[in-house]
Chain A
Amino acid sequence: MEQPIISLKGVTYKYPDGNVALDGLDLDINKGEAIAIVGPNGAGKSTLLQIIAGLIPISSGTLTIMGKGVTADNVEKSHELEWLRRKLGIVFQDSDVALFNSTAWNDIIFGPLHLGLPTEEIVSRGERVMEQLGIQHLRDRAPYHMSGGEKRKVSIASVLSLEPEILLFDEPTSDLDPRSRRGIVDLLKRMTSEGKTVIVATHDVNAVPDFATRIVVLKRRVLASGDVRTVLSNESLLETSELDVPEITRLFKVLSSIGYTTSELPFCIDEAVKQIKASSARVHVHPSTVSNMESRCDP
């Protein structure tokens, strides 16, 4: 059996003030997986990503990435983790944190430049990722003259230019308009189809079924881990972890309560379309049922 690309055993992380963010966390991630890490605020999602990225040292336990151990000692001496920087990229939630240069181009080439790549390679990578994300027009623009969606794309480009095998995203769809959000979800799907290992910490359960092959429910430790259908069908787990099902699933739950029959609940638009096409059921809705439906749809 192939070894996991990332392995965390009994990982605990305590903040300097003594509060525990992660408590004895065990998690194995295989190459090419697209994992959504979900959980309530304060569950430790961002902390977990920063630990995997070798940015903050674990208090106890072991972290192995591509068969190599990442210890608290070599996290402190950041030059000892150069191999990790070449293999793994992290996109921060706050784009203003990730874009610390005065132009998009300078941010995009920052990684390759600091890994000591030849100039031609740096320029080629920079131009390639800008084309890939359609942001050539932002090349010389300062971050304070960009919209939220543009900043997010540039911060993703600044990580993709490292050409990492493992990509970590912290809330990539938060604070984005619907079109930008769609673009980011499509990008996550594309990354997965290219065989990259993608790990996304998110609150956006609507986006999860679109790209994730596995969901990990986190609340200081792993509460559950499994495919999208198994986890999102477990109502008691969703209750415990303060999560909800995607909007489309809620809609079909309401529809099924008024007589629409489906073989199984869909979790994304594509599944819903398949369900509708496959279903021969027709709904004849009485006006009183409509008003009942409206009350169910109220948030």
Chain B
Amino acid sequence: MTKPVLETSATDPDGMLASDGPDPKRHGDPVFRGFATGAGILILAILAAVAAFLLFQGAPALIADPATLTEQGYGPFWAWVLPFVFGTLWAAILALVIAVPIAIGIALFISHYAPRRLAQPLGYVIDLLAAVPSVVFGLWGGLALAPAVVPLYTWLNTNLGWIPLFSGAVSGTGRTILTAAIVLATMVLPIITSLCREVFLQAPRLHEEAALALGATRWEMIKLAVFPYARPGIIAAIMLGLGRALGETMAVSMVLSGSANITFQVLTSNNPNTIAAVIAQGFPEAFGLKTNELIAAGLVLFVITLAVNMVARWIVSRRAAYSGAN
């Protein structure tokens, strides 16, 4: 998501070279350009196909009579899907609250603190984390993490139970939305880290050295020279991480004890489920209108990720205008 410093002044030199004499090799140009443009348009077509498919398959649930849906489906669509929309957003936000500070910390460590020799292997280690399959995170979260956090949750509940977040009857298995959020955070961490790292590394070296020359400490230099430059990139990275957290299916489904309720308590057994997990859990046994409702839920999730990305783009484009580096 990083916007490179490079200006694309020479990206379309066709005009410049148009006066050249006819050259057989130059016939390749329109063909190659056609292929490149075609590939781009194909991507738009694929996306449109995905959206059209969701709309087409989900439409029966959206237009059906609520009474019919109560009888043959999961109930009136919007009432049914609302808790899961909440759960999806809530789990993703919790995950980001955990992941973002840590990710920025790691990125800074790799880009500005670690010895140069160490930086590349460290980046590789973090990238490897991005490649661990979600099933493995699910297995790990359910079998290793959840039992391990139960004492912590019990402690939080007894000592900080007056905070609404930690109130309620603490779960006996640790399979709560907070655990799911920790698993999600682990999964989005490498995505946010690798993007932030790239942006931090691209911060103009001259600005950094100027800050240091003026007597800034390293932290002040980062605050003065790196963060202002990197802010759009950081926001973009967070939004990409959010997209991943919103759509994650298997890990959540294997870790979270979810049902259809809206609550902010993060330590109880009654957590709101997420849309992706609901689809995965319901789809095999669904038929008729239930299938339509599940696909319509997928459409809602799609629209949410679309909105998230639009907001991210908007922020980036607005911020980019202020960035001195562009």
A binds B: no
Interface residue ranges, B against A (CB under 8 Å): none
